Structure 1
């Protein structure tokens, strides 16, 4: 009996433990769900059409969550050498999961998301596969250009387009379905979502102290510089919201109140002068902004 045959019955459990450890559903599913509802709902209502979630919405939510899982699995493999030194308890390092098992799961995810989006349109299939394809390009790129891995801001500039492509999938699939027409408001909406995500990304990697292998943005920009960028990204999201929704009345601007979380985070970080940015304030900003946009889309004309 081969090792593969012995291991196969245990694979679902091994993958399940990996997901619970490295891709907690309460975070990944919540983020994917709220992001898609906010983006789709806002895009549709900006055309003057009422919006309610549909079966197509569910396909987009599942696709986004699965792509986030795919990218997490890819990152685990890309970062293996780094994790052996700085994170020896990670599943891939300890052998709790293998690279071959992760690649098999990634192949299965590719088949599932392509099949799901075939129900929507050929355009949706191409857009979602483009996200996966770009993600796969990052691994050989980091091998060929180590600076992409070693320099945090360069790495962000190279990997950042994955988020824009994933947002472009949601918006582009709506365009292909005839639910919206591509225009500048769509571009502003994608920038809004990118600013929300990047606010959390910078908050996660901003601290007064620098630890080996942490890849902090504050190690390059300085704590105050990174804090300024973190707050600036939240302000950029609010500016995009105002640009899109101000003509629809003051109630349409309620999502902008989520900026209070980054303001509170900045005050705590700068006042304490030590430790890391209070990431809970950034998580709250992401969750409240997306939730408020989704609710606004369902309640306001």
Structure 2
């Protein structure tokens, strides 16, 4: 940071965010995820859900934690990016590691301060995923297996998302939102399946290079596609278990499964290229929007 004039740092960080943390993607995902989790937990407790000021704190916190994770990944993957992605901001010098670490420190302070207005427990819950994430670079540096095996790497890194989802549900329950009890577990599983479907979809292709780190390189294209579809089936199963949908609004999360079904047919029929990403992204948006609608207008 010493080589960059301090007044320019916010501009450089802003450019980094716009390129590597596209707001229309990440902010939309983070806000919808929080709304879907909190709203569904409220609906499962037998009440109609309405967002509150505490909801806004949780949504902003989740988005900021996602940005923190993105900044950490940029540093963690620097050696790989120098070889395979030489245009990345950290490689080109458009941003420095010191600037990213400074921004991560600010994010940590802001998130902790915002959640202190909710409860001490909320502060602890929101800091847990950050603490877990900070351990991951050391784990990956120490373990070649974690670095080189995509499925093992996913198993090691995905708990950050579980902790973040737990923060939303538990902090909401602690701030007066009706608690869903044991049903929080299948609710978190539902969201996990939705997210992991996208994760597998974006790393499934018929062709791959050695540095691509695709799941289809390990499982084969058809095997990876099967896992992606199994995750959709898991999400539908969790939705049926939780909500027993009987209305049009209630059926929307299940009907969202048509998007990955169409994408799978296209992918398996083409036998070249990658899994179509727009349907995978649309599946997240439609499912979470449907869960929000179901929470606002319960049957």
* TM-score, length of structure 1 as denominator length: 0.97
Query: Which residue does 1:40 correspond to in 2?
Result: 38
Matches within 5 A, 1:106-255: 106-181=104-179, 183-246=181-244, 249=247, 251-255=249-253
Q: CA RMSD in A?
A: 1.3
1:287 aligns with 2:272: no
Structure 1, 45-54 or 96-105: larger mean CA deviation: 45-54
Q: Deviations over 1:69-102 (max 9, x none)?
A: 0000000000000000000000000000000000
- CA distance in 2 between partners of 1:25 and 1:250 (Å): 31
- CA distance in 2 between partners of 1:251 and 1:202 (Å): 27
- CA distance in 1 between partners of 2:141 and 2:252 (Å): 45
What SS does the aligned partner of 1:4 have? coil
Deviation at 1:182, TM superposition (A): 5.5
- Indicate which of 90, 93, 96 corresponds to 1:92: 90
Deviation at 1:254, TM superposition (A): 2.1
- CA distance in 2 between partners of 1:136 and 1:6 (Å): 25
Deviation at 1:249, TM superposition (A): 4.9
What SS does the aligned partner of 2:5 have? helix
Q: Deviations over 1:278-298 (max 9, x none)?
A: 011100000000011111111
Deviation at 1:31, TM superposition (A): 0.3
What SS does the aligned partner of 1:300 have? coil
The unaligned stretches of length 5 or more in structure 2 are none
The unaligned stretches of length 5 or more in structure 1 are none
- CA distance in 2 between partners of 1:219 and 1:133 (Å): 31
Query: Which residue does 2:257 correspond to in 1?
Result: 259
8 Å contact kept, 1:44–1:50: yes
8 Å contact kept, 1:198–1:233: yes
* TM-score, length of structure 2 as denominator length: 0.97
- CA distance in 1 between partners of 2:55 and 2:251 (Å): 24
Change in Cα spacing, 1:250 to 1:244, as seen in structure 2 (3 Å) is farther
- Indicate which of 274, 277, 285 corresponds to 1:276: 274
What SS does the aligned partner of 1:211 have? coil
Change in Cα spacing, 1:216 to 1:180, as seen in structure 2 (3 Å) is same
8 Å contact kept, 2:42–2:179: no
